Amino acid sequence: KFGLDLDLPGMKVAVVAHPPIFGGTPKSIDDKAARGIPGVMDVFEIPTISRGTAVVVVADKFWTAKEARDQLSIDWDFSRIEPADTEQLRAKYKELAATPGNVAVTRGDPSVLDGISVANRFEAEYEFPYLAHTPMEPLNTTIRFDGDHAEVWAGSQFQTVDQMAIAEILSLKPEQVTFHTEMAGGGFGRRATPDSHVQREAATIAKRCKGIPVKLIWTREDDVQGGYYRPMFAHRIEIGIGVDGMPLAWRHVVVGQSIVAGTPFASFLIKNGVDETAVEGAADNPYEIPNFTVTAHHPTPNVPVLWWRSVGHTHTAFVMETLVDELASRAGADPIAYRRKLLKPDEKKLRGVLDLMDEKSASWRNHLPEGHAAGVACHESFGTNVACAVDVSIQNKRPKIHRVTVAVDCGTAVNPLTIESQFQAGVSFGVSQLMAKGAITFKSGHAEQNNFDGYTPPYIIDAPVAVDVHIVPSTEKPSGCGEPSVPVISPAVVNALFRLTGKRYRNLPLLSL
C-alpha cells in the first residue's frame, strides 16, 4: 500500500490549479462550471510557497476533482514575474562560465595555466538541463485536522521537517501532529523538500475542511510542470598538461542555481557565496592536481530547484571522470592505470575499488566482441567509494549497456544483498540522466513538457543487461549506498562511446550519437 492507495471513511480528494508560470496569481476566477459538477465540495484559493496563489478543488473522488479543475476559467497575472526561458538561460550561463565566480577551492597557483603552451592546453564546456524526478507514484499527502490534533499520511523523505511545517500551518505544536510514513513509489529527493510545499498545501486545505480527511494529489502533469527540478548547470574547464601527460593546472567554473539558498541548510552549506552541493565532487575531487581552482556562479532564474538523487555529483562526476579519461587518452595511457597514478596518495579507498573493479572486469574487458567498447569511471560520494566498468555497443543510434561491473567500499557491509540491490537499481536510475528522451525546458516561463510523452525516461531496453556488484571487505563504519551508484554510470558509458565513435560527449542527455 502506497500513500496514493490510502482510503479513509468520508475522505475527500483535492487537486490544485497552480499558475502555469511560477509565482503567478489569479486576477479573476470563474468557477461556476466547476462547482456545478456533482461531487464537488468546494473551490477556493490558497497561497503556495513558490508557485504564487493557486486554486483548490475538493471533491468526493479524484476524477471528479480533476474534471472540475479542468472547467475552471482563470485569468492569471504574471506582471511582476521574470519568466524563465531555456535558450536565454543557456546563453547567460555560457557567459557566466567564461568568468571566475566565487571561490570554492584553490590550491597552488592556478595562473600557471596562462603560461602553458597552446599545444598543451585544452578547454571543455558542459551543459546539463533541468531534470524532473518523476517518481512513478504521483505526489500526495492526506491530512485529517480536528482542531487540536492532526493526523498525516505521506510517503515522505523529510518527516520531521514536514511535521513541523504542517504544525505551523495548523497552529499546532509538532507533537500534536501524528505522522504516518506511507510507502513511497519513488522519491529520489522529490519527497524531501526543505520548504515542505506539498504538505503545506495539504495542511492549508485540511484547515478549511476541518474534521474531514482530505487527500491532496498532484497529477503527473502537476509534477512535471511543478518545479523543484535538479538545477540546470554549465561547466567550463581549462586544463594545462605537463610534460608527463598529467594535469599541471586546472581552472573550473560551475554555473547553476543554489539548491539550499533561502532554506535552513544555507547557513552551513553556503560558504563564500558557494553552495557546496553545486561543486561537491569537483571541488573535493580525489586527484593530485598541483594548481587547481573551482569557482561558482549561482544565478536566480524563476524556477524552483531541489536535489535529485546524488545531488551535485550527478553533474560533477560526469565532468571530472570524462575529462580524466580524455587526459588518459591524450597521454596514450590505460584509463585505469592513469587514474591510479593521478590519485592523491591518501586515496586508498578509491584505489582499492579501482583495483577490485579491474580484477573483476578484466576477463570481459579484455575480450570484447567487435563493435563493443569498455569505459570506466570512479567517484566518491556520501562517504562511499565506487568504481565502474561498462561494456557498451551502439544499437539503433543509442548506447546499449551489455554489462556493468561495480566495485564499492561502503565500510562495513551490514547487508550485502541490500547493497547489491541498491547499486543495481542506482546504476539504472543513473541512466535516466544519460538517455532520457528530453529534458525540462522553458519557453516564456512555461515548462514545455507535462507528461511522459514529452519527458520520457529510458525504457527497459536502455537499462544495463547485467550489473555485477563487488564489495571491498571493511570493518569501518557503514556509509551511504542509496546514492553513490548514480554518478558513475554516465561517465563510464560516455567514455566507452568515445572509443566507439571518437567523439567526446559533453552534454546530457544523449539525444543522438
- What's the pLDDT band for 52 if we cut at 50, 70, 90? confident
pLDDT of the residue at 50: 78
For residues 290 and 224, is the Cβ–Cβ distance under 8 A? Answer: no
At residue 73, does pLDDT exceed 80? Answer: yes
- What's the pLDDT band for 512 if we cut at 50, 70, 90? confident
- What's the pLDDT band for 60 if we cut at 50, 70, 90? very high
The string over 275-302, giving b where at least 16 C-beta atoms fall within 10 Å of a residue's C-beta and e elsewhere, is bbbbbbbbbebbbebebbbbbbbbeebb
pLDDT of the residue at 306: 98
At residue 438, does pLDDT exceed 80? Answer: no
For residues 47 and 195, is the Cβ–Cβ distance under 8 A? Answer: no
pLDDT of the residue at 317: 98
Please state the rounded mean pLDDT for residues 277-286: 98
pLDDT of the residue at 511: 79
* Percentage, residues of the chain above pLDDT 70: 100
> How many Å apart are CA 328 and CA 321, to the nearest integer?
11
> How many Å apart are CA 170 and CA 151, to the nearest integer?
11
DSSP string, 140-154: EEEEEE-SS-EEEEE
Which three cell numbers, joined as nine digits, stand for 23? 509565482
What angle is formed at CA 225 by the lines to CA 177 and CA 507, rounded to 5 degrees?
120
Q: Which of 86-90, 213-217, 372-376, 432-436 has the lowest mean pLDDT?
A: 432-436
Cβ neighbours around 513 below 10 Å, total? 13
- What's the pLDDT band for 458 if we cut at 50, 70, 90? confident
At residue 255, does pLDDT exceed 80? Answer: yes
Which three cell numbers, joined as nine digits, stand for 270? 553556503
Q: What is the chain's mean pLDDT, rounded? A: 97
Which three cell numbers, joined as nine digits, stand for 54? 493557486
At residue 464, does pLDDT exceed 90? Answer: yes
Please state the rounded mean pLDDT for residues 15-26: 96
Please state the rounded mean pLDDT for residues 136-151: 97
- What's the pLDDT band for 513 if we cut at 50, 70, 90? confident
At residue 286, does pLDDT exceed 90? Answer: yes
At residue 93, does pLDDT exceed 90? Answer: yes
Q: Which of 7-16, 184-193, 429-438 has the lowest mean pLDDT?
A: 429-438
Please state the rounded mean pLDDT for residues 471-493: 97
- What's the pLDDT band for 145 if we cut at 50, 70, 90? very high
Helices (H) and strands (E) in the chain, counts: 13, 22
Please state the rounded mean pLDDT for residues 91-106: 98
pLDDT of the residue at 182: 98
Please state the rounded mean pLDDT for residues 375-391: 98
SS3 content of the chain, % helix, strand, coil (to 5): 30, 30, 40
At residue 179, does pLDDT exceed 90? Answer: yes
pLDDT of the residue at 213: 98
Instruction: Return the axis-axis angle of helices 486-501 and 313-330, rounded to nearest 10°.
Output: 30
Cα–Cα distances (Å) from 37 to 28, 44, 73, 332, in that order, read 20, 15, 14, 71
- What's the pLDDT band for 437 if we cut at 50, 70, 90? confident
